[in-house]
Amino acid sequence: MRRDVKKIGGDKVTAVGMGTWGIGGKESPDHSRDRESVEALKYGIELGINLIDTAEFYGKGHSEELVGKAIQGFEREELFIVSKVWPTHFGYESAKKAARASARRLGTYIDLYLLHWPVDNFERIEETLHALEELVDEGLIRYIGVSNFDLELFKRSQEAMRKYGIVANQVKYSLRDRWPETSGLLDYMKREGIALMAYTPLEKGSLARNPCLAEIGKPYGKTAAQVALNYLIWEENVVAIPKAGRKEHIEENAGAMGWRLSKEDREKARGCV
């Protein structure tokens, strides 16, 4: 597979990663769903995808445990693992405790640790960011990021940092929900060289079933889902993290890399939704 390479901080990551929301929740008594999830993640790594996104909130930590199982046997330095701290764990000591618990479940350090959602009390955000800076010094995490922060809050958070920069903002972004484009967030992050991680990029599968996008993909030999993902990673600083639940979906997602829509077809894709 010809990989698209993007940058988060100083690290190279694949333009399409693997998201684990909804993985590690309710499972069958024989743990078959867990095994399927682990095998799917392993398959993605074997295809060359090196970015895996998870969170302590997903499956109450079980998603992190499954990621930990999936990465066993692979070169850790070649992978880029993202996790997140839930707002109830914001604060100096509680954020540190949450990060250490996530690292234990993963069985490894965390490459990028995000504040999962903003809270109204900015002092709590600031305190948490400063705690994460200390975790970078300790080597538990390597980079700091945020999630679901609008442009104003993102800038304010940047100004609050003492030692390190914020290298990523993970937000909902898809062909159907293009608010990062219209709000100025995408342009700002592009100018600053900061990664925008797009979650729910296929709108829970609905864009994969879009006949208009499928028609655009035909000359490229690509599916509607691949067109929808390629629309996003067309931007130099955007990484997409569709759910990695099944092998066939991961293989299709990987096929969104290694090529680009023309400017004309990209504009047509906007009109499909």
Give the residue numbers marked as catalytic: 58
The DSSP bridge partners found for residue 19 are: 53, 243
Nearby residues of 63 by Cβ (< 8 Å), 6 or more positions away: 20, 21, 23, 24, 54, 55
Closest CA to 171 of 129, 199, 151, 195: 199
Please state, in angstroms and rounded to a whole number, the distance separating the CA atoms of residues 208 and 272: 12
Closest alpha carbon to 152 in 177, 128, 116, 122: 122
Judged by phi (left if over 0) then psi (alpha if -120 to 50, else beta), residue 242 lies in beta
Place of tokens 């996530």: 102
